[in-house]
Amino acid sequence: EWTATQDGYYAPAMISGGGNLFVLNHTLDSTTTHTRIVGEYTVAFEDMIGTNQSDFDYNDVVFQLTPIA
């Protein structure tokens, strides 16, 4: 469990084992994004880069944020 300690804007991001940075609505290969908002306060990541390698299941990392204020 993680709690933000300061007010501000936070964006979901993931760094893969290969050192690739996955950020919401940012394309790594200029063809597709590897993050999606899949529900209210819920974000999913696709870990494979490139349209030839990706399975586009967006279930590699899924997390839900819970607003407290």
Sheet of strand 35-39, all strands in order from the earlier edge strand to the far edge: 35-39, 42-45, 61-64
Backbone dihedral angles phi then psi of residue 48, each to the nearest 5 degrees? -95, 135
For the cut 80, the answer to whether the pLDDT of residue 58 exceeds it is: yes
For the cut 70, the answer to whether the pLDDT of residue 45 exceeds it is: yes
Using one digit for the tens of pLDDT, what is the confidence trace for 6-38?
777 777 777 777 777 777 777 666 566 778 888
Mean pLDDT of 33-48: 83
Lowest-confidence region among 9-13, 47-51, 62-66: 47-51
User: What pTM value is reported for the model?
Assistant: 0.62
